[in-house]
């Protein structure tokens, strides 16, 4: 474990671990919008509407921090990640990386930019090509960018990466089907690390894994972040996982951010009723508290093709009033450390009554 | 999977590392896995053996005929006909082990040479329709949008053609003189291949399109894209290797269909032109005299039946071995 992975990889100087990274935002997302058109008709396709997957999202990711993005299925978390990664083209808005607008990059500049940001995918079974050996999968980034030329050199670099993520380098010639889910996810992590990116986006990296394996992969990510000074965007729907990992958390609902702030503040005193409901839904491993009433919201998430006007949460909000149906609240500081988009934020008494888990959930 | 995979989770990071020159752990490639499964399928193995035998016989047809002392396929032997001019049945006396046809030609050597025609037509036609089908299917699946719409409607349109009528029409049009399309398509096997390709590429294109549509949504394609891979690299390194299994299976299942189509067209008289031997043509000739010369129909018929059966059984075996739906993703 003494050699740093891809020590030979570093054709560029990565910030040595432990050194304070430069301050400021690495990623700035400005008013990002992604609408997927809904069409009808076979030959002549008419556009009859749009799914508003991401509908005006702004936030920043600071250098070296871990930003969590949470929300229910279909709230636009993954779409946001793919927009930042340029796997999708935004309908409007801007993504700035390292101060540079990358929203319209194409060709060679886009390819060069891709070295700086990588992604870990959700499903370790579908994210590895079953027809390739592990060595070839992890070596792909080198092959695509023309790095680590030569068989022996590339093999050495790949095996160093395998060692870094806790895989046996001797398994270089094996195929993905010979590995367990957790090991496959490690292969995905090694592939993402190969180019020594500045930003790593993890799209629900552990939700497909067995609970006993989840912590191992999470700890690996934390280790690697500290070691390589990575900035991490961590997408999840499991709030305890997010708390374990993240410095700041953004909560999304129907394509918008409803609350964002430091995780301590957000978990201690959630201000948006949706955040409060999410937190009170976290299962508690304590039979004595099992029967406590929780502030679960009722009903289903409205269709993102036809979201409610004004505040999007008003159809399910326990605190809804007339103003919520006519006047869209903007994200604004609410005096407890987080910014929330709510006209009538939760009070301390309400949070106490919701039995939000505010104690430590960080695994020992 | 071996038990060693489990201790990796815990021990992987701290496991002492031998120098990398040590013995490599043997990996089972997809090809090995396929072979291990296919080997267990006795019926498919026997069928594969028969196909190999048939191919060897077809390639070495002149040699086989000579070794068995039979006459060439076009040699007429009046001595093998009765005094009334009807053909004689199988006998070793005249070296006509399958008997002769009404012109005194040796049925055995015509069946052997007929295998040549059948396999040649089937392989070439299947190969061509595969190339067209895979190309069209991949373009439609990868680019989607109006390209897909256009190509898919074209496929629907082609599927509407009645194959046999098309074959009869084309056969009739091309069987005069130099053939059609300025002499590029000669009467005989060319017409048969053209008809088969026209009729079958659509099925392959549809299968490939469907597979590509599902593959392109897989996360490993997105992973390649996020690494900066070019479209060509994604097509040839990520998508195509995952299509090989289904392409092989479809090809082996289309070969017997194409053999039958060739036989049918030759039977109807628009396929392989006399005096060239073909199984379908022989069956057509034999129908009139089946009462007196059963061997003229039975042997080419049996050859056709066994060949088609063998290809189908191998195709089924390949499908089981290449695409076990359960275990692996």
Residue B282 has what pLDDT? 87
- Mean pLDDT calculated for residue range A157-181: 91
Domain-ending residue, one of A170, A194, A218: A194
* B287/B12: higher pLDDT: B287
Contact B259, B242 (CB under 8 A): no
Mean pLDDT score of chain A: 84
Within-domain flag for A114 = no
Confidence category of residue B161, pLDDT binned at 50, 70, 90: confident
**B307-322: per-residue pLDDT in tens?**
999 999 998 888 888 7
Residue A140 domain-assigned (yes or no): yes
- Does pLDDT of A241 surpass 90? no
**Residue A174 covered by a domain:** yes
For residue A40, name the pLDDT band (cuts at 50, 70, 90).
confident
Which of the four pLDDT bands, split at 50, 70 and 90, describes residue A112? very high
* CA torsion angle B317 B318 B323 B325 (round to 10): -10
Instruction: Give the pLDDT of residue A44.
Output: 67
pLDDT tens column, A317-333: 888 889 999 999 999 99
Angle between the N-to-C axes of helices A134-145 and A151-164, in degrees from 0 to 180, rounded to the nearest 10:
120
Residues B173-213: tens digit of each pLDDT: 776 666 676 666 776 788 888 888 988 999 999 999 999 99
Average pLDDT of the residues in A91-103:
91
Q: What is the mean pLDDT of chain B?
A: 81
B22: confidence class by pLDDT, cuts 50, 70, 90 = very low
**B102 pLDDT tier (thresholds 50, 70, 90):** confident
pLDDT band, very low/low/confident/very high, at A12 (cuts 50, 70, 90): very low
The whole-angstrom separation of Cα B45 and Cα A304 is: 55
Domain count, chain A: 2
pLDDT confidence tier of residue A198, bands split at 50, 70 and 90: very high
Separation in Å, CA of A331 to nearest CA in chain B: 31
* Residue A279 placed within a domain: yes
Give the whole-number percent of chain B exceeding pLDDT 90.
Answer: 22
Q: Is residue A222 part of a domain?
A: no
**Cβ within 8 Å, pair B15-A168:** yes
Cβ contact A84:A29 at 8 Å: yes
Q: How far is B31 from chain A (nearest CA, A)?
A: 10
pLDDT at B70: 74
Is 60 exceeded by the pLDDT of residue A100?
Answer: yes
Residues of B in contact with A172 (CB under 8 A): 24
d(CA B176, CA A260) in angstroms, rounded, equals 80
Q: DSSP 3-state assignment of A138?
A: helix
Task: Sketch out chain B's domains with CATH numbers.
Answer: 51-327 (1.10.3720.10)
Has residue A144 got a pLDDT over 60? yes
Which A positions 189-208 lie with beta carbon below 8 A of chain B?
Answer: 191, 195
B27/A43 CB distance under 8 A: no
pLDDT category, A11, cuts 50, 70, 90? very low
Task: Provide the pLDDT for residue A305.
Answer: 87
> CB contact, 8 Å: A355 with chain B?
no
Residues 50-109 on A with a CB inside 8 Å of B are 82, 85-87
Q: pLDDT band for position B324 (50/70/90)?
A: low
Residue A180 inside a domain? The answer is: yes
Does the pLDDT at position A1 exceed 80? Answer: no
Provide the number of CB pairs (under 8 Å) joining chain A to chain B: 118
Q: Supply the pLDDT for residue A296.
A: 66
Lowest mean pLDDT among A261-265, B27-31, B255-259: B27-31
Residue B266 pLDDT grade (very low, low, confident, very high; cuts 50, 70, 90): confident
Does A37 score more than 90 pLDDT? no
Q: Pick from A156, A163, A179: which is nearest to B17 by CB?
A: A163
Last residue of a domain, one of A168, A194, A220: A194
Nearest-Å Rg of the Cα atoms of chain B is: 26
Express each pLDDT in A282-317 by its tens digit. 776 777 666 665 656 777 888 888 888 889 999 988
Of B277 and B9, more confident: B277
A8 found inside a domain: no
Res A57: pLDDT: 93
Residue after which a domain boundary falls, among A194, A218, A252: A194
Q: Does the beta-carbon distance from A156 to B20 stay under 8 Å? A: yes
Give the three-state DSSP class for A268.
helix
DSSP string, A193-253: HTT--SEEEEESTTTTS-HHHHHHHHHHHHHHHHHHT-EEEEEES-HHHHHHH-SEEEEEE
Q: What does the pLDDT average to over B29-38?
A: 78
Q: What is the 3 state secondary structure string of chain B?
A: CCCHHHHHHHHCCCCCCCCCCCCCCCCCCHHHHHHHHHHCCHHHHHHHHHHHHHHHHHHCHHHHHHHCCCCCCCCCCHHHECCCCCECCCECCCCECCCECCCCCEHHHHHHHHHHHHHHHHHHHHHHHHHHHHHHHHHHHHHCHHHHHHHHHHHHHHHCCCHHHHHHHHHHHHCCCCCECCCCECCCHHHHHHHHHHHHHHHHHHHHHHHHHHHCCCHHHHHHHHCCCCHHHHHHHHHHHHHHHHHHHHHHHHHHHHHHHHHHHHHCCCCCCCCCCCHHHHHHHHHHHCCCCCHHHHHHHHHHHHHHHHHHHHHHHHHHHHCCCCCCC
What share of residues in chain A are helix, strand, coil (percent, to 5)?
30, 20, 45
Render pLDDT for B118-150 as a digit per residue (tens, 0 to 9). Answer: 899 999 999 999 999 999 999 998 887 888 889
A129 lies within 8 A of chain B by CB: yes
Q: Inform me whether the pLDDT recorded for B27 exceeds 70.
A: no
Please report whether residue A301 resides in a domain: yes
Cα–Cα distance, B27 to B215 (Å, whole number): 25
**What residues make up the domain containing A281?**
272-353
Confidence of residue A220 (pLDDT cuts 50, 70, 90): very high
C-alpha A164/C-alpha A229 separation (Å) is 15
Instruction: Determine the pLDDT at residue A34.
Output: 93
Q: Is the model's pLDDT at B3 over the cut of 50?
A: no
- pLDDT the model gives residue A22: 54
Site from B1, B7, B13 to mutate, A interface, most A CB atoms within 10 angstroms: B13
């Amino acid at each position: 474990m003494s050699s740093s992975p891809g020590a030979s990889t570093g054709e560029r100087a990565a910030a040595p671990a432990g050194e304070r990274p430069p301050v400021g935002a690495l990623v700035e997302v400005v008013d990002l919008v992604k609408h997927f058109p809904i069409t009808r008709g076979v030959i002549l396709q008419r556009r009859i509407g749009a799914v508003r997957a991401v509908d005006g999202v702004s936030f920043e990711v600071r250098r070296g921090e871990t930003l969590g993005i949470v929300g229910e299925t279909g709230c636009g978390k993954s779409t946001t990640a793919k927009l930042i990664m340029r796997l999708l083209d935004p309908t409007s808005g801007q993504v700035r990386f390292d101060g540079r607008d990358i929203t319209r990059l194409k060709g060679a500049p886009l390819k060069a930019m891709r070295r700086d940001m990588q992604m870990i995918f959700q499903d370790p079974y579908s994210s590895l090509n079953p027809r390739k050996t592990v060595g070839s999968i992890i070596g792909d980034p080198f092959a695509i960018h023309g790095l680590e030329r030569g068989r022996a050199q590339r093999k050495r670099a790949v095996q160093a990466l395998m060692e870094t993520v806790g895989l046996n380098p001797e398994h270089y010639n094996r195929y993905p089907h010979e590995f367990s889910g957790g090991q496959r996810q490690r292969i995905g992590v090694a592939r993402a690390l190969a180019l020594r990116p500045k930003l790593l986006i993890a799209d629900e990296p552990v939700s497909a894994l067995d609970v006993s394996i989840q912590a191992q992969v999470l700890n690996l990510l934390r280790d690697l972040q500290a070691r390589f000074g990575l900035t991490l965007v961590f997408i999840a729907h499991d709030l305890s996982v997010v708390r374990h990992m993240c410095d700041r958390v953004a909560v999304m609902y129907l394509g918008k951010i409803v609350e964002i702030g430091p995780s301590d503040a957000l978990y201690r005193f959630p201000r948006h009723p949706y955040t409060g409901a999410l937190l009170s839904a976290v299962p508690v491993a304590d039979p004595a508290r099992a029967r406590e009433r929780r502030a679960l919201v009722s009903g289903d998430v409205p269709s993102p093709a036809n979201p409610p006007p004004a505040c999007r949460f008003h159809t399910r909000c326990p605190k809804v009033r007339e103003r919520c149906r006519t006047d869209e609240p903007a994200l604004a500081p609410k005096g407890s450390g987080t910014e929330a988009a709510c006209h009538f934020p939760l009070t301390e008494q309400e949070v106490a009554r919701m039995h939000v888990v505010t104690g430590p959930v960080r695994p020992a | 999977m071996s038990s060693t995979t489990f201790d990796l989770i815990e021990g992987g990071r701290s496991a002492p590392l031998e120098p990398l020159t040590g013995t490599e752990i043997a990996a089972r490639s997809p090809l090995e896995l396929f072979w291990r499964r296919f080997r267990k399928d006795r019926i498919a193995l026997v069928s594969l053996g028969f196909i190999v035998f048939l191919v060897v016989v077809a390639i070495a047809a002149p040699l086989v005929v000579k070794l068995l002392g039979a006459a060439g396929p076009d040699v007429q032997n009046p001595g093998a006909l009765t005094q009334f001019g009807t053909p004689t049945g199988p006998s070793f006396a005249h070296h006509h082990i399958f008997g002769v046809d009404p012109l005194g030609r040796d049925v055995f050597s015509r069946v052997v040479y007929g295998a040549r025609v059948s396999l040649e037509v089937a392989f070439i036609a299947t190969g061509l329709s595969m190339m067209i089908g895979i190309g069209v299917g991949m373009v439609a699946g990868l680019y989607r949008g109006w390209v897909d719409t256009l190509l898919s409607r074209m496929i629907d349109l082609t599927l509407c053609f009645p194959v046999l009528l098309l074959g009869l029409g084309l056969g009739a049009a091309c069987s005069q003189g130099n053939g059609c399309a300025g002499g590029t398509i000669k009467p005989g096997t060319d017409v048969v291949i053209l008809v088969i390709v026209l009729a079958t590429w659509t099925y392959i294109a549809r299968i490939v399109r469907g597979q590509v549509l599902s593959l392109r949504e897989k996360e490993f394609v997105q992973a390649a894209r996020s690494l900066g891979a070019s479209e060509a690299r994604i097509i040839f390194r990520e998508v195509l290797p995952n299509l090989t299994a289904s392409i092989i299976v479809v090809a082996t299942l289309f070969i017997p269909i194409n053999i039958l189509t060739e036989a049918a067209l030759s039977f109807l008289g628009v396929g392989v032109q006399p005096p060239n031997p073909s199984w379908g043509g022989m069956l057509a000739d034999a129908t009139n005299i089946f009462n007196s010369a059963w061997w003229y129909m039975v042997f080419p018929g049996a050859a056709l039946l066994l060949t088609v059966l063998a290809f189908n059984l191998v195709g089924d075996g390949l499908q089981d071995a290449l695409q076990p739906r359960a275990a692996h993703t």
